[in-house]
Amino acid sequence: MNYLDKIIRSATVENGADRNGVPDVTALSTLYRNLSAKTIITGFVYVSENGRAMQPLQAGIVNQMQTHAWKQIRHAVPDKQLIMQLAHVGRQTTRSGAVGASNIKCTYCKAPVRALSVKEIKQIVNDFAQAALRAKETGFDGIQIHAAHGYLIHQFLSPYTNNRTDEYKDRPLLLEQVLKAVRAVCPAPFLIWIKLSWADDRGLTLADTLATVKRIETLCDGAEISYGTMEYPLNIIRGAIPIDTAFRVNPLFNKYPPLIQRLWQRFVFPRYKRRFKPFTPNYNVQAALEIKKQTSLPIFVTGGIRTKQDIDHILASGIDKVSLCRPFIKEPDLLHKLTGDWKSGCVNCNLCTIYCDSMESVRCHLGEKNEI
């Protein structure tokens, strides 16, 4: 088995830029060089200023300085297949001026949301295309359009967040327009991948996603299958809920005084916890296989893949590539271990996830002082 072509490092927030969204060339090229995966999808990169996520150190690809830094990263990491994940945050932000398909607030981020006008949507389509073109100019091998996890394109795909009455009530239309606009400026062999949540906790179903995939299957080169939105963030990744760490480092929670934090933990947390799905290995594989059966589009899957045996099994069942995130945070060299009977040392403690919302670069915190 040639694992180099079959295992991807899935998009992983890096907090690897300065406050102007300019990526840190040394930090990111070192990170990418040290990863044993040949194919690396960057953490989500913003396509426009109003599409920035709440992480202050998120990288962008909207101006010359950012593009130049990405070009240097490409130059410093010549032997990897680099794919830039392009995202517009939509309503999933605490920043003021949040926009969305409709004006429905995200219960996790709580910022008021304004529904986008058709003119603004056309501008966003163009922003994705221009960002992809810049990514191509840096020498990256391709881009991944982030249409999962409740970000803007997912907000259009979901019946809960899209209650529009204009042409965009046709929920996959925005994704279709973005893909056409990107392809128009980035012809093959430049890769165009997408990331989709096959369902979420607010009404998006597998049937919706199958219809979306049928609609766009000729417009891109592969779809990575994930789950959920940031409204129930731990259903995207699953596992432990390190609530003490969240209260300490997450700006959404650490603004509350200690007494409120203690009361919340005591009385609200036990009920809050019940909203989350338990971690089970390979938790998106069944849905990915359903999708694979019905499309000619290459299908990749992410979510809870932790052993060599499972990787072999998933690939043997017809899935085109497997995509790992937390295992690469724990063991950047994991591909070198697949000659043996590898099992990930990641225990899904999710400390890395909580630190995504801090100012720290993302790494494994398992066993550190102050942590578990």
- Rounded Cα distance, 222 and 298, in Å: 5
Nearer to ligand FMN by C-beta: 169 or 336? Answer: 336
- Which residues make beta-bridge pairs with 250? none
- The 29-68 contact track toward ligand FMN, x by CB under 6 A, reads --------------xx------------------------
Of 141-149, 153-161, 175-183, 201-209, the window that binds ligand FMN (rule: CB under 6 A) is: 141-149
Q: How far is the CB of 320 from ligand FMN (least distance, A)?
A: 16
By residue count, the chain amounts to: 372
- Binds ligand FMN (CB under 6 A): choice among 3, 6, 12, 62: 12
- Rounded Cα distance, 223 and 157, in Å: 15
As to burial, measured by CB atoms within 10 angstroms (0-12 exposed, 13-18 middle, 19+ buried), residue 188 is exposed
Under the binding rule (CB under 6 A), the answer on residue 9 touching ligand FMN is no
- Binds ligand FMN (CB under 6 A): choice among 150, 228, 304, 332: 304
Q: Could you tell me if 53 and 44 are in contact, meaning their C-beta atoms sit under 8 angstroms apart?
A: yes
- The 173-202 contact track toward ligand FMN, x by CB under 6 A, reads ----------------------x-------
Q: How far is the CB of 59 from ligand FMN (least distance, A)?
A: 10
Under the binding rule (CB under 6 A), the answer on residue 11 touching ligand FMN is yes
- Binds ligand FMN (CB under 6 A): choice among 324, 334, 335, 349: 324
- The 200-239 contact track toward ligand FMN, x by CB under 6 A, reads --------------------------x----------x--
Residue bearing tokens 């007494």: 259
Q: How far is the CB of 302 from ligand FMN (least distance, A)?
A: 4
Under the binding rule (CB under 6 A), the answer on residue 10 touching ligand FMN is yes
As a three-state string, the secondary structure of the chain is CCHHHHEEECCCCCCCECCCCCECHHHHHHHHHHCCCCEEECCCEECCHHHCCCCCCCCECCCHHHHHHHHHHHHHCCCCEEEEEEECCCCCCCCCCEEECCCCCCCCCCCCEEECCHHHHHHHHHHHHHHHHHHHHHCCCEEEEEECECCHHHHHHCCCCCCCCCHHHCCCHHHHHHHHHHHHHCCCCCEEEEEEECCCCCCCCHHHHHHHHHHHCCCCCEEEEECCECCCHHHHHCCCCCHHHHHHHCCCCCCCCHHHHHHHHHHHHHHHHCCCCCCCCCCCHHHHHHHHHCCCCCEEEECCCCEHHHHHHHHHCCCCEEEECHHHHHCCCHHHHCCCCCECCCCCCCHHHHHCCCCCCCCCCCCCCCCC
Q: How far is the CB of 263 from ligand FMN (least distance, A)?
A: 28
- Binds ligand FMN (CB under 6 A): choice among 7, 8, 13, 77: 13
Nearer to ligand FMN by C-beta: 10 or 67? Answer: 10
Under the binding rule (CB under 6 A), the answer on residue 150 touching ligand FMN is no
352, amino acid identity: C
- Binds ligand FMN (CB under 6 A): choice among 327, 331, 335, 364: 327
Of 7-15, 68-76, 198-206, 210-218, the window that binds ligand FMN (rule: CB under 6 A) is: 7-15
> Taking every pair of C-alpha atoms in the chain, what is the biggest distance, in angstroms?
57
Under the binding rule (CB under 6 A), the answer on residue 356 touching ligand FMN is yes
Q: How far is the CB of 99 from ligand FMN (least distance, A)?
A: 20
Q: How far is the CB of 307 from ligand FMN (least distance, A)?
A: 12
Binders of ligand FMN among residues 263 to 302 (CB under 6 A) are 302
Q: How many residues bind ligand FMN (CB under 6 A)?
A: 25
Under the binding rule (CB under 6 A), the answer on residue 100 touching ligand FMN is no
Q: How far is the CB of 303 from ligand FMN (least distance, A)?
A: 4
| Interaction site with ligand FMN (CB under 6 A) | 10-13, 43-44, 85, 146, 148-149, 195, 226, 237, 302-305, 324-327, 352-353, 356, 362
